[in-house]
Structure 1
Amino acid sequence: MITKEEIRVKQDLAEQLYAIRKHLHRHPELSFQEFSTCAYIVSILEEWGIPFTRIGETGIFVDIIGENGEGPHIGIRADIDALPVQEKTDLPFSSLNGGVMHACGHDGHTTILLGTVKQLYQNKYLLSGRVRCIFQPGEEADGAAQQLIDSGVLENPDVDAMLALHLWPHLPHGTIGVKYGAITASCDDFIITIEGKGGHSARPHQSVDAITICSQILHALPTLVTKSSSPVEPVVVHVGKIQGGTASNVVADKVVLEGTTRAVTREARKRLESQIIELSENIAKAFGGKASIRYIESHPPVINNDLVTQALEASAIEILGPGKVVHLKEPSMGADDFGSFAERVPSTYFRLGTAQEGKPIYDLHHPQFEFHESIIPVGIEIFTYAILTRLQKGVEKSC
């Protein structure tokens, strides 16, 4: 069995990875525009002599085939896209692309996966089965993970389990956060178009006021959280945009509401959709108007599989020590499209802490978000050790 000392990231590789991270951070690209990022990843893999496969316009995956007999097919996902954020970190390797920034740590995720590819490829004589390392575009957009799945990234051969991490500024640097069950919420959007009948405010009885209907819907939507959902199950219903009306003395004939929902179970996610549609239509009808609802499914919740999570947690404890592995008390109501992978294969998604003592904490998507590069080897060692020890035995035998 491989020891934790054997998978430690050597200093020369670490220095190369730090340079890779700086390059990625300097040259961020938005979702589905990661052409230079993709070309750079390809250039690194070619330099290392590691075969790869292109998928879609900017996606890449690497299959590392073990030389130690048959075994499971494990997948690892890293997201490669950046955000439309103007960087304000003053780092010497700050973004050179105005208005675009790696404000969510995807430059770190990509670098960690590249390092994991190198480590696993060098140790494939110890590996049973195979590992598919997926560099995924478009995580910050809708449907990117699902597009890769539809393109067959989980097939030929079928992937048996998936892993992913996310840098997390709310845990101390080098700490691993694990969560059984839901770790992130679903994220769906809705657009409610309310149609009334326009008229003059002096004669309101001849009109149907879309703004009045809108106010009633706004008043009722929170009851889907407070009265229609379990008080111990987190859900969110939020309206963030309203457009309607033309003048102070005109009865509005149309109002459009735009909002989002979050849920940590598949059942609550579907329930919110049907409730929002039914509530809006019925309120509009009661006031003599009409409501049309466009409900846009985006990301499912990320629900961690117990066995894969146990394998990851046990491996992290052996690598870092028990004091460095934290059980997260509650899910994040943020979303990640890794949920599309987790819906199909047993998976775990964990947090890798980046908070440094004495330094201010900036949340994900903040223009001053940053992390220290020394976290990169930690992520690589967790992935490598979990795969080469427990997970290559098969998920059902991993613990």
Structure 2
Amino acid sequence: MESVELQESLVQQLYQIRRHLHQYPELSFQEFATCDFLCSRLNEWGIPYKRVGDTGVVVDIVGENGKGLHIGLRADMDALPIQEKTGLPFSSLNNGVMHACGHDGHMTILLGTVYQLYQRKNMFRGRVRCIFQPGEEADGAAEKMIEQGVLSHPPIDEMLALHLWPHLPFGTVGVRYGAMTASCDTFAIEIEGKGGHSARPHQAIDAIAVSGNVLQGISYLVMKETNPVDPVVVHVGKILGGTATNIVADRVIMEGTTRAVSKETREKVKERLVELVEQMVTSFGAKAKVTYSEGHPPVINDREVTRAFVESVEELLGAEAVHILTEPSMGADDFGAFAERVPSTYFRLGICREGVPCHDLHHPAFQFDEKIIPLGVKILTHSVFKRLTEGV
């Protein structure tokens, strides 16, 4: 197989691209300047593309060696509402907005992969569809792109996506067979009691007291009604209720998330949470309204696609560079919407250097060594090239 080494001139371009993207981050579904910048680079390289929706970009690279697999690659584009505190010379110039989740790196890696594959399209068969996806930090972005046809015309057979990861050594790859990340759904519970004076609690129905019992019921649901070896999180992160110390609250609103790594458990938690809350609140004489919204599905890695990917990374970097993760993350990524429809692999690319502070994702001081960018390009390019030339 041809070497996937990058020319130094391309590496320097990619560093400059990443710094520009980092300096001008944009929130979910507002990535207009980001989209324009990516398109301008593709224009400079003479690589055709199409815009999808308001801010998405898709590049199709058709191999010239005949028919073969159609492989999709995805990178997310959006930033977070965080005030940057990295001290980088190319820190965000957009006040209160920061690439604190590495999406600037993801876009740059995919852009470099586009360049590498486009230059070699006469050497492989099939098709590579590179998807720059807006709105990953929001809800419904991946679904919207799927509705807009990014998995069809012609259909995609399998997909890859990466995420920079501060919990793995620099340059290593973390992946697992099966569940990689959890689903993430949201719920709101509105408890309607009966207001009154705290001196006469028997004449009222205390919505705050009822909410305390609901919290206990949620704990019971997690501990006693779900399989202990099938991870589940039901988290209440916000409670609003009460107006004064001597008034019995007549209304409480509780909001939270549920997470699961299997479709069956996800459905069961949704069903039982609604049932349990309604039954418990009613038993105290109060009323309950539960609003449940499905968000990102879990990312489930396909065994065959993952096997081929692992084999590719081991060939490129050595077996010691691959970490087969023992457990899924209970975080979420809307790449799960793609993985639900197309056999896929989602992997972590380690960025933690020994002796260097490594902040977690979504931290205002999050940053990474740019040398991970050419390595990421090599990993994606090698994996795709191997798949579309050797068919393994």
TM-score (norm 2): 0.98
- Contact 2:124/2:388 (8 A) holds in 1: no
Partner Cα distance (1:186, 1:234) in 2? 11
Q: Which moved more, 1:336-345 or 1:198-207?
A: 198-207
Residue 71 of structure 1 contacts residue 393 of structure 1 at CA under 8 Å; is this kept in 2? no
Secondary structure of residue in 2 paired with 1:20? helix
- Give the Cα–Cα distance (whole angstroms) in 2 for the partners of residues 391 and 235 of structure 1: 38
Matches within 5 A, 1:313-324: 313-324=310-321
- Give 1:223 shift: 1.4
Looking at structure 2, the residues matched to 94 and 58 of structure 1 have their Cα atoms a distance apart, in angstroms, of: 23
Partner residue of 2:228? 231
Name the CA distance, whole Å, in 2 between partners of 1:245 and 1:360: 42
Q: Assess if the C-alpha contact under 8 Å between 1:304 and 1:346 holds in 2.
A: yes
Shift of 1:198: 1.5
Shift of 1:77: 0.3
Q: Percent identity?
A: 63
Q: What secondary structure does 1:390 align onto?
A: helix
Instruction: Provide Cα deviations, 1:130-182, integer angstroms capped at 9, x if missing partner.
Output: 11000000001111101101111111001100100000011111111111111
- More deviation in 359-368 or 383-392? 383-392
Task: For 1:209 and 1:119, locate their aligned partners in 2 and report how far apart those are by CA, in whole Å.
Answer: 64
Q: Greater CA deviation, 376-385 or 73-82?
A: 376-385
- 1:228-377 matches, within 5 Å, as 228-377=225-374
After TM superposition, give the deviation of residue 201 of structure 1 in Å: 2.3
Distance 1:392 1:289 in 2: 65
Amino acid at match of 2:15: Y
| Deviations, residues 13-45 of structure 1 (Å, cap 9, x unaligned) | 111111100110111111111010000000000
Q: Distance in 2 between matches of 1:357 and 1:393?
A: 36
Query: 1:333-365 CA deviation, whole Å, 9 max, x = no partner?
Result: 111000000000000000101011210120011
Give the C-alpha shift of residue 392 in structure 1.
5.6
Aligned length, in residue pairs = 392
Q: What is the CA-CA distance between 1:391 and the residue it aligns to?
A: 5.0
Which ranges of structure 2 fall in alignment gaps of 5 or more residues?
none
Match of 1:67 in 2: 64
For 1:211, the equivalent position in structure 2 comes to: 208
- What SS does the corresponding residue of 1:331 show, helix, strand or coil? coil
Q: CA deviation at 1:205?
A: 2.5
Residue 104 (structure 1) aligned with residue 106 (structure 2):
no
Structure 1 outlier segments of 4+, above 3 Å: 391-394
Q: Distance in 2 between matches of 1:393 and 1:31?
A: 38
Corresponding residue of 1:28: 25
**One-letter code aligned to 1:113:** L
Distance between the aligned counterparts of 2:42 and 2:369, measured in 1?
24
SS in structure 1 opposite 2:93? coil
Provide the C-alpha distance between the structure 2 equivalents of 1:226 and 1:391, rounded to a whole number of angstroms. 46
Q: Name the SS for the 2:341 alignment partner.
A: coil
Q: Distance in 2 between matches of 1:167 and 1:322?
A: 19
SS in 1 for 2:25: coil
